[in-house]
Amino acid sequence: MIIADIVKVALPAVLSFIVGIGITPVISDFLYRNKMWKKKAGKVDLAGNSTPIFNELHKEREVNTPRMGGMIIWISVFLSALIIWIAAQFLPSEIAVKLDFISRNQTWLPLFMLILGASFGLSDDLLEVRGTGDNMAGGLSLKKRLIIVALLGLIAGSWFYFKLDVSVIGLPGDLFLPLGYLFIPFFALILMALYSGGVIDGLDGLAGGVFATMFAAYAGIAFYQQQIDLAAFCLTVVGGILSFLWFNIPPARFYMSETGTMGLTMTLGVVAFMTDTLGGGYGIIVLPVIAMPLVITTLSVVIQVLSKKYRNKKVFLVAPIHHHFEVIGWPSYKVTMRYWIIGVIFAILGVVLALVG
């Protein structure tokens, strides 16, 4: 039985990788042919001001490297799930039925959140490449993007609370933290916190490697909980990310951008809640550990903003912190690979804590 479960979890990941590799030439050609990159280099900080140090570092790559590469991830996941589902419906062999991981109780919500979050992210990317929107560099302001994430989080949290009857958070020792109605805003806050870590998408290969590690960790937790469909979904996402990463390692052919980071961060949050009390585990408590690279990235931004506001000086030469390492002379590939290492170590630690807690 366990061998069959391993096959069910692993094969969709392989299919997703193959599909992602297969669709990339078409997507890449579309992005380059339509010049889907920023027309003006530069980013803005949380206050909407220019970031001269970052802009100097990335001024050439930003205006000739397409955005929206994250489409490869969620399209490959969706197509893989669709292929397997169609095979299970119209080629009802034992293998096809077994491989079908689309289930109402485990994977409908995370798949829906992946597509929905990626769609909103894609809309922001389109505004950015057109140079329109709220920011001087194009795209929606951070405030508006956070509002979108918060609204989607409230909807998903309401689904957990009213439809799945979830209102508590699992704690080690078979304890629970009852939240009542506060579970819904708490759900939204978790998604917003994860989304804030999406700024990790700043160096070639960085975000892809980190997100692949985090989803692989939750695949392991879900598998241990016998949520086999959810584990298969998580590894299918990993397969899609790896196909993207194949083309995103330095020098990147395209960037993940919002259509990737918004969809992935929000889906990661849903998966964490799915592996919490619904799975008889502690998916939320271990989330900061498994997502430590995102936590570090977000904290570096918060520390920088607070320091500039109250001390009138910077802690880092530029935030997020991975760009600080660039400024002090680290090659971008060194920063990326060390982030990967940190991500793997904390992912292993998070899985261990989830299994023995």
Residue 145: domain span: 2-356
DSSP H or E run through 35: none
Q: What tens digit of pLDDT does each residue of 144-161 get?
A: 999 999 999 999 999 999
Q: Is the pLDDT of residue 291 over 60?
A: yes
Mean pLDDT score, 272-278 = 96
Which own/partner contact pairs does 164-170 have at CB distance under 8 Å and 24+ positions apart?
164/278, 166/273, 166/276, 166/277, 166/278, 168/277, 169/276, 169/277, 169/284, 169/285, 170/276, 170/277, 170/280, 170/281, 170/282, 170/283, 170/284, 170/285
Upstream peptide bond of 320 is cis (omega within 30 degrees of 0): yes
Which are the contacts of 144, defined by CB distance < 8 A and separation ≥ 6?
134
| Residue among 233, 235, 199, 229 at smallest CA distance from 217 | 235
For residues 229 and 176, the answer to whether their CB atoms sit within 8 Å is no
For the chain, percent of residues with pLDDT exceeding 70:
91
pLDDT band at 46 (very low <50, low <70, confident <90, very high): low
Upstream peptide bond of 251 is cis (omega within 30 degrees of 0): yes
What span, in angstroms and rounded, lies between the C-alpha atoms of 311 and 356? 43
DSSP H or E run through 176: strand 175-178
pLDDT band at 271 (very low <50, low <70, confident <90, very high): very high
Q: What tens digit of pLDDT does each residue of 15-44 get?
A: 999 999 999 999 999 999 999 988 766 565
Structure confidence at residue 57 (pLDDT):
62
Q: Is the pLDDT of residue 54 over 80?
A: no
Please indicate whether residue 45 or residue 321 has the higher confidence score (pLDDT): 321
* 234 alpha carbon, distance to own chain's centre: 11
Residue 2 to residues 8, 9, 30, 84, 92, Cα–Cα distance (Å): 10, 11, 42, 20, 22
Token pair, residue 120, equals 């909103």
Q: How many domains does the chain have?
A: 1
Which are the contacts of 85, defined by CB distance < 8 A and separation ≥ 6?
100, 102
Q: Is the pLDDT of residue 173 over 90?
A: no
What span, in angstroms and rounded, lies between the C-alpha atoms of 24 and 246? 10
When the pLDDT of each residue in the chain is averaged and rounded to a whole number, the result is 91
What span, in angstroms and rounded, lies between the C-alpha atoms of 355 and 352? 5
Q: Is the pLDDT of residue 211 over 70?
A: yes
Q: What tens digit of pLDDT does each residue of 68-98 get?
A: 999 999 999 999 999 999 998 888 777 878 8
Structure confidence at residue 237 (pLDDT):
98
What span, in angstroms and rounded, lies between the C-alpha atoms of 78 and 299? 33
